[in-house]
Structure 1
Amino acid sequence: MAFISYHPATGREAERVATLSAAELEQRVQQSHVVAKEWRQSSFADRSAVLNRLASLLSANRERLALTMTREMGKLLSEALVEIDRCALECTYFATQGQAMLPLARSMTTFEPMGTVLLLTSWRFPLWQVFRMLAPTLMAGNVVLLKLAENLPRCAREIEWLLAEAGAPRGLVFSLLIDKLQVASLIADPRVKAMAFSGNRQDASQVAALAGQQLKPIVLELDETELHVILDDADLELAVDAAMRSRFRNAGQLGYAARGFIVTPGIADDFVARLSARLSELQCGDPEQETATLGPLATGLQRDELHQQVTAALAAGARAVVGCELPAGEGWHYPASLLDEVAPKMEVFRQQLSGPLACVIRVPSLDAITDLCQELGPDGTASIWTRDLARGEQLARRLSFGRCLINMDPHQGKGYPSGFNPAPEGRFNIKAFCHLKTLLVSV
């Protein structure tokens, strides 16, 4: 097996990297194990220094790193630059605040690092999903083995380069180009003490089962359901702005973006008209150009699956308002698309979408909204848009979702996933990979 880096804007292969051999993997795991014993004894000042140097390197190399993401994952260069800045900010935050989050060494109750942590990430935010966990985990005294998605070998190489340039001990963080069988053996390895995973629920269940067999702790960040419920008296300008952020940032490749827009009859036509007008302004283009408004999808397979969902929905009675056709030319572009009159039973609504597509589901009543949401289970978010706050709260209490917002955009000012066992302020919990240790002295 080889890890292949493609340029999504052209669909052409850029680089092919061989999977690590068994001997190479063993050498890295053993070195990580040795460094873990040393790093747990390091001072907070030493850990902070590494994170501060990482922050400086991220900022100093932001354009090059952003281009690597754009050319390997396809995201807009402007979005990639913001992602780099966010990674640098996270390193600085834990460099300055991390020690205060953990009890002092002389405390009777301390949090001791577990050791080597295996991080399995998705491809949607190549650096952010690494650094938001990496910074607090290193500050807590752990080391990390990193397995990025198969389409990101160049991003994996950049992360190792950053750690080396920051003066981190070799083995503190290793990027592993390994296949699924090697991942399974790594989970079973006694030198690996804990895991973190981000991605879909099907893969998560398999990884969690392997971790459970070894009684190893695992932190999961899962793709989740998100719906926007737009009632007849909603402020449409706010609702459409939220729809654009929820479904069309990062070319709709978010993992937690709105699955659909549930709209009541009195406002449905107006909502569709306003949203389609905004979508017509988004044009597929070269993601390296700052003027581009919509980049390509990360892989050709992903684009094919999205279009299959669209085609099946159209055949079942949905109506294409904007886009919904494969464009000519090279690369894995897909136009900003809008499907109206989507039925709740259609696959395009039932399955997680990953691409620049919005689905409108027209419902006749609040009771129908409640019944529809009940079928989807409690794991997810519902954003309710209405000028009648009492009515909105009443509906929110009837819905099954664990998180309901009224006239609030769940992505306003965030733009990044934060489901990794979040601590206050939505950050990764610095104690996630620590053992609680209590010291009792008899007198």
Structure 2
Amino acid sequence: MKKIIERSKPIVAQTVSLRRSLHKLMERTLLLAVLSTAVGLALPLHADTRQLLFDENAIKDPGSLVVKLQDTRATVSEFIASQLSEDMQWILLGYDGASEPTPQQQKVLLADLNRLLEAGPLYDAQLFANIELSEQTQTLVAQNPQSGEALVRLNRLLLSDAYPYELASPSEPQPYPHSAGIQTCRENLRQIKMALDNYRASNADADPQWLSELAPQYLEKACLLCPADPTAGTPGVLTEDASDPILPCSYLYEVRPSEKDGQHMLQTQEGDMTPIVRCEHHRLNLSVGGKLYRNGPQRDIYNSNKMGFSVLADALRDLRKQHGEALFKTQKGRESLKQAIEELVLKQFVPQLLSALDHEIYTQLEAQLGKGILETPTGMDILRQAMPQVRHQIKEQVQSELETRLGVEFFKTEEGKDILQQLSVLMLPEGTN
């Protein structure tokens, strides 16, 4: 095996080199390195610049970051991964997605990130189109710095905006949100994954209806409780059917009876990154492939770094504190819910989703049928046929996610029906009456 790996290294090195050559940023980085070596320069960093570099504490979740860099279906991750060193490429290739990266692996990751901060401008409008940039980041983007402290600061902010659960911004206070008890939570999810695998092996590949069915034969009951859960064991979402009916459980099981069909459909699109168990208390997900990562699947079509549903979950917690049990039962409570959904999902998230969706469809059509195909009658006809089908499927997924968060009963009310009607109108292709 060792000989095979050694023989394959030149191939990987050539692949990495080829990917790098596609990016002007790396060309500038290599040129700078050659010139610095040739003249024997040792350029000290300005004190302010040094303070802007990442340190070990600023990488809040190295495991989640490596998982997201492995998932190069996301545009930003694909670009960042292409800029990494050969050593880091090998780490991406071999990381299992669940264990904590070793100190040496984290050291390589830290060095690569800091090299990127100084290498040159990272910002590209198309690359970061689906990333919600902070006001500070947007201000620096407008200034368009090309070197010095301002450029390093901008690059640091861009990476922090792209990976908010993994990388801290320069001014982010410690302790970081959603960090208390996360290592115990990660271990719980690893144990749950092993228990699910053992359960399926003993039950003809069938999934349990609830996570509680894993205990005590396959899993200790204590593993069902997240240390950050302030309740006696609830998933932290408002959906009525989300709580395990048998045992206290802090985790949201995405293959429970009401979600199983929709989850299997999602797996056909998201593959092994599809979450099967979520910890809403840590924004931590266990995927079908056994990978642990923060927030939602990092796909441009389905969510940016601050997915509308995650923001909605925060708003719903505040509404629950304000209205209590009356949130769903009174018209005032339902109106508050409706306003939150309209603002955070229908006005903000869905338009971003549709923009990314349209771009992805255009890109795929040109990749498969040739550049300029959309300028022909044939291409336009294909687009007219494909768009309604794709948008309908996305509408079903958005509706399913809303029903998961709020419960099916809410959408039988006048307020809920109005939300679904607005969603249907938003999902109509342009030019459709």
Short-chain TM bin: under 0.3
Select the structure with the greater relative contact order (CA < 8 A; seq sep ≥ 6): 1
Larger helix percent? 2
Q: Tell me the TM-score normalised to structure 1 length.
A: 0.22
